[in-house]
Chains A and B, each alone.
Chain A
Amino acid sequence: MMMQRKGLVVALTAATLGAAVGPAMGSEGNGDSPLGNSPIRLVIPFGPGGGSDMTARVLTATAPEFCGPRIDVVSMSGAAGLEAVNYVMNAESDGHTLLVTDYGPIVTSGYVDDVEWSHDDWDPVMLFTEWLPTVYTRADHDIDSIEDWVAQLEAEPNSVTFAHAAPLGIVHLPLILFEMETGLENRHIPTSGGGETRSMVMGGHVDLGMTLPASIAAEVENGTLKALGTFADERADVLPDVPTFKEAGYDVSLPAWLMIFAKDDVPQETKAFLQDCFMEALATPTAVSMSDRTNAGIDPRGMEASADLYRNTVEVVGNILREIGEID
């Protein structure tokens, strides 16, 4: 009995030590890449399993062949994503630690949170895809179109309840922008996320909701939900019959995006190499197939185009936040 107990103790101790040192002894890939052998870390400021995670994993599967080292996806959702951003900001400027994010943790947070970096400290390496915020409601709701929505609010201000995830997030700021443009007011009902928003819309507890097209494409197709409009310059591929707000006559467009960022002091040739190898990887049949299967809609753009979009988003978000008094 004593020997069995001792054996158990030894096993437990070994397990503890193994958990501690195991990862440090893992292999780090090989290849003659200018980036060397150390893995590239794509740090995501959200929990695992979400759209960002799944999209980034397309690179883990396809990019090592072109970039050289292994590519790891690391989820760090602590401090509402700020921990991930700070982790990348404090990492070596060697191009091995990159941030994969939408504009919330980097643009909005840069304005409203007490951070030790500024928007200029980040350079986009490339863009994975644009996400187009889309307003929707349940199929049997009286509001059938953007015009119906506006008409109801003009007749009865504040009479429409609008559910959205995360205050000042990527599916809330477009609504604020629309209200700034039109002078109309909805009753904003923040939720814990897209799932809760959809439950509340489908259950008839609120009138409208906002989400990204891929989340509701199937329901729109089978007639459970109807999409009213998209806050983008062009229609979403998965919702080709849904007009943009611009087409409806409202000059509001605030697409979200998923980009890879490096710190601005990472050498330019390193960033250029990363851009090239990532773009090559995403053009492979494997990556295209993975993107189709996951509905990720990957449509990559290089550094220059991404930087233009980033700067534009910084400006637009800053204007919105100033207008509503969130920042000076």
Chain B
Amino acid sequence: MLEALTDALSLALDPSVLMFVALGILLGITLGAIPGLSGDMAIALLLPTVFYLEPASALGLLVGIYKGGMFGGSISGITFGVPGTPGAAATTIDGYQAKLKGKPNRALHTALYSSVAGDTSSDLILIFIALPLAAVALKFGPVEFFALYAFSLLLISALTRGQLAKGVAACALGILLSMIGRDPIGGSLRMTFGMPELAGGLSLIPVLVGIFAVSELIVQVSKAWAAKSRAIVEDAKEKSKMFSDYDAAADKLPFRDFLKLWKATAIGTGTGTLIGALPGAGSSLAAFISYGLAHRFSRNGDEFGKGSMEGVASAEAGNSATSGSTLIPLFAFGIPGSATAALFGAAFILMGMSPGPTMVRDHSDVIYALFIILIYANLVNLLMGKVLLPYYSKMSMVQPRILLPIVFCLAIFGTYAAGNSLIDVWVLLGAGLLGVVLRLYGFPLAPLILGFIVGPGAERALRQSLLIGGEWSYLFSSPIAIGFYATALGLILLFTLLLRNKA
């Protein structure tokens, strides 16, 4: 083992590998920060380079893109109000509000530090306790997954800021939209209205980008056109000054201020690591659950949704903490638990390795090199983020009348580029209109996104459970499932009692 470690160190610390890691992170952050594009897309496009590069260099490039892309998605969310990746949707809730209050740099740095913290913890878990955690992950079947999804939906009040009824309605609408397309069990078409183009359902990226970015553009343009009275014009000029007078140097986040967010970061890190290890759960689910739990346990819960740094830290830590743990099922059993893990699995295969437990035994030098790369890539991510963030925060404070149309164009190009699908572009525009209507009537958008993300998995898990068990009581046959239901109800009771005491 010592010899393998020594070989791994020389592989991982080779200057060419360091260069590829840095290049990957730069590419990942840049692409992730463009609405509609993601690090996953870059990984898929660059997979063939694995044929031509040394294994450690190829892994360094792909790991860099992955980590950079994960954080880059949050840059887009905070800067433009458009989550660059599904996992950044929860970060956007408070991150964008912070930007609208003139604090984008603070929010970006909070996201960077919590991202690195979550990512590093997750990588250490992958390296040292992958197998035991994978064994726990295997215990999650349809019954347990349905309980997890139900648990995440029960935390929804964290996303609704006092509008529980509207939040539940928005969530239900999101679940309904997720059901468009082919029934996952029977295969029949649902709510496609005779359009075969909808057979595959609505994709997450266009819905996400449309709901956030396109609706924001329409609302902003409408506000500009509707500004008829001097009072509104003066108010707009006042707000405009916030952008033109913005000084990134004054909007800093001292590290000691970040340390005060330790609880939110820890909740996100722990939640994200656990959920990331579950095949199919996803970083967006982890981020939303982290956000919901942090809200529950925060002393400043009222600040969530209004630009709270705790909100940013918990969501981003939850999102990034899935990065290492999502590879656990791949390493332990050869099961790709996420689209990114599947891409890494393809990369391993291209390198002549078979994903699974034999990978470490048969290719220990390359795998240990990967572990080392995973750890130091976080440091490179941190350094590169520190260099790039001041520019992104200045970019975010460009006047909205200039920024939003550019973001809109990038969103369309990015959405099309992600799937080569014109249908996705129409969905993007349609989701934008839906977002406008929801905003007009005061419906929160985040619960809709949560419902859309959770809907397919929840429906599939519920119906699989009923097919396997044959009756509804089967849903309560697992101690893990009962634990989730009990915890959710306990949290709701606790929160209700606390609110009553406060009142």
Q: Which residues of A line the B interface, CB within 8 A?
A: 4-5, 8-9, 12-13, 15-16, 19-20, 47-50, 53-54, 57, 60-61, 74-83, 112-115, 161, 167-168, 187-192, 195-196, 198-200, 202-206, 215, 217-219, 222, 224, 290, 293-295
Contacts and interface: CB of A to CB of B under 8 A. Distances in A.
A115 B195 CA distance: 10
25 contacts: A5-B398, A20-B413, A48-B47, A49-B339, A49-B346, A54-B346, A57-B48, A61-B48, A76-B419, A77-B419, A78-B421, A79-B197, A79-B200, A80-B201, A167-B182, A192-B184, A192-B460, A195-B279, A195-B280, A195-B336, A202-B333, A203-B140, A205-B142, A206-B468, A293-B349
Contacts of B343: 48-49
B332 to A, nearest CB: 10
A82 B186 CA distance: 19
B47 A49 contact: yes
B420 A167 contact: no
B47 A115 contact: no
Interface in B170-215: 181-187, 194, 196-201, 203
Given A8-B394, A190-B185, A202-B333, A79 B351 contact: no
A202 B333 CA distance: 9
B334 interface: yes
B197 A82 contact: yes
A35 to B, nearest CB: 22
A115 B196 contact: yes
B409 A196 contact: no
Nearest to A17: B409
Interface stretch (B148-156, B354-362, B443-451): B354-362
B419 A16 contact: no
B279 A83 contact: no
B472 interface: no
Contact of A78 (B48, B395, B423): B423
A188 B410 CA distance: 43
B358 A222 contact: yes
Given A54-B47, A114-B194, A218-B334, 9 more contacts: A53-B44, A53-B346, A77-B200, A78-B423, A80-B199, A196-B280, A202-B335, A203-B138, A203-B140
A20 B186 CA distance: 41
A161 B350 CA distance: 34
Contacts of B137: 199
Contact of B464 (A112, A189, A203, A224): A189
Contact of A217 (B198, B337, B354, B424): B354
Contact of B279 (A16, A75, A199, A222): A199
A13 B354 CA distance: 45
A266 to B, nearest CB: 21
Nearest to A161: B468
Contact of B138 (A13, A113, A202): A202
Q: A interface, by DSSP: helix, strand, loop or mixed?
A: helix
A20 B412 CA distance: 10
Nearest to A286: B51
A265 B139 CA distance: 53
Contact of A293 (B342, B351, B421): B351
B226 interface: no
B45 interface: yes
B203 A167 contact: no
Nearest to A2: B244
Contact of B342 (A79, A195, A218): A195
Given A75-B44, A195-B279, A203-B138, A83 B395 contact: no
Contacts of A192: 184, 280, 460
Nearest to A16: B409
B196 A78 contact: no
Contacts of A48: 41, 44-45, 47, 343
A114 B201 CA distance: 15
Interface in B126-168: 137-142
A198 B421 CA distance: 30
Given A20-B413, A199-B279, A218-B356, A50 B346 contact: yes
Given A9-B402, A12-B398, A114 B196 contact: yes
A9 to B, nearest CB: 5
Nearest to A169: B187
B406 interface: yes
B417 to A, nearest CB: 8
Interface of B: 41, 43-45, 47-48, 51, 137-142, 181-187, 194, 196-201, 203, 244, 279-280, 329, 333-337, 339, 342-343, 346, 349-352, 354-358, 391, 394-395, 398, 402-403, 406, 409-410, 413, 419-424, 460, 464, 467-468
A79 B140 contact: no
Contact of A80 (B182, B402, B420, B460): B182
Contacts of B44: 47-49, 53, 75
B413 A19 contact: yes
A63 to B, nearest CB: 13
Q: B interface, by DSSP: helix, strand, loop or mixed?
A: helix
A219 B138 contact: no
Contact of B420 (A78, A200, A290): A78
Nearest to B47: A49
B350 A293 contact: yes
A218 B139 CA distance: 22
Nearest to A166: B187
Nearest to B427: A78
Given A113-B199, A218-B354, A294-B350, A76 B280 contact: no
A12, A82, A188, most chain B CB atoms within 10 A: A12
B181 A205 contact: no
A80 B188 CA distance: 13
A27 B371 CA distance: 39
A163 to B, nearest CB: 8
Nearest to B336: A195
Nearest to B141: A205
A78, A80, A200, A203, most chain B CB atoms within 10 A: A78
Those 10 A-B pairs whose CB atoms lie nearest each other, nearest first = A205-B141, A78-B421, A48-B44, A167-B187, A80-B200, A203-B138, A218-B354, A49-B343, A76-B420, A79-B200
A54 B350 CA distance: 8
B378 to A, nearest CB: 24
A77, A79, A217, most chain B CB atoms within 10 A: A79
Contacts of A49: 43-44, 47, 339, 342-343, 346
B61 to A, nearest CB: 15
A4 B350 contact: no
B395 A8 contact: yes
Contact of A190 (B45, B184, B355, B424): B184
Contacts of A218: 334, 354-356, 358
A113 B194 CA distance: 10
B460 A12 contact: no
A60 to B, nearest CB: 7
A1 B46 CA distance: 38
Given A168-B187, A218-B334, A199 B420 contact: no
A199 B335 contact: yes
Nearest to A115: B196
Contacts of A293: 349-352
A195 B421 CA distance: 25
A188 to B, nearest CB: 8
A75 B406 contact: no
B406 A12 contact: yes
Contacts of A199: 137-138, 140-141, 279-280, 329, 333, 335, 337
Contacts of B402: 9
